[in-house]
Amino acid sequence: MGEVLSIPPNPQLSPEFDKARAWSQILAFLFSVGYWATLAFLVVISAVSVWPESVGVAKNFIQGITPEPITVPIWGRVGGLGIVVVVFVPIVAVFHSAQRVFRHFARGEVFSASTIERIRTTALWLIVAGIIPPRPVLLIVGIAAYVTAYVMAEARRIADDNASII
Amino acid sequence: MIVVQLDVMLAKRKMRSKELAERIGITEANLSLLKSGKVKGVRFETLEKICAALACQPGDLLEFRAET
Give residue-wise pLDDT tens across range A17-52: 888 999 999 999 999 999 999 999 888 888 777 776
The helix (H) or strand (E) run that includes residue B64 is strand B62-64
Candidate from A161, A164, A166 with C-beta closest to B26? A166
In CATH, what number is assigned to the domain containing residue B38? 1.10.260.40
The amino acid that residue A10 corresponds to is N
Candidate from A161, A164, A166 with C-beta closest to B46? A166
Structural domain for B12, as ranges? 2-64
Q: State pTM to two decimals.
A: 0.68
Mean pLDDT of A132-137: 90
Taking an 8 Å cut-off on Cβ atoms, the answer to whether B39 and A161 are in contact is no
The helix (H) or strand (E) run that includes residue B62 is strand B62-64
User: CA–CA separation, A141 vs A86, rounded Å?
Assistant: 19
Q: How many domains does chain B have?
A: 1
The helix (H) or strand (E) run that includes residue A51 is none
The amino acid that residue A7 corresponds to is I
Size of interface A-B (CB pairs under 8 A): 18
Tell me: pLDDT of B45 over 80.
yes
Residue-wise burial string across A85-106, b where 16 or more C-beta atoms lie within 10 A, e elsewhere: eeebbbbbbbbbbbbbbbbbbb
DSSP state of B2: E
User: CA–CA separation, A72 vs A68, rounded Å?
Assistant: 7
Q: Residue A107: name the closest of A6, A7, A4 by CA.
A: A7
Backbone angles phi and psi of B63, in degrees to 5: -130, 135
Q: CA A13, A16, A18, A24 torsion: positive or negative?
A: negative
Nearest-CA distance B51 → chain A (Å): 14
Nearest-CA distance A161 → chain B (Å): 7
- Could you report the predicted ipTM of this complex, rounded to two decimals? 0.74
Residues of chain B with C-beta less than 8 angstroms from the C-beta of A157: none
Task: Kindly report, residue by residue over A79-92, the tens digit of the pLDDT.
Answer: 888 888 888 999 99
Nearest-CA distance B66 → chain A (Å): 22
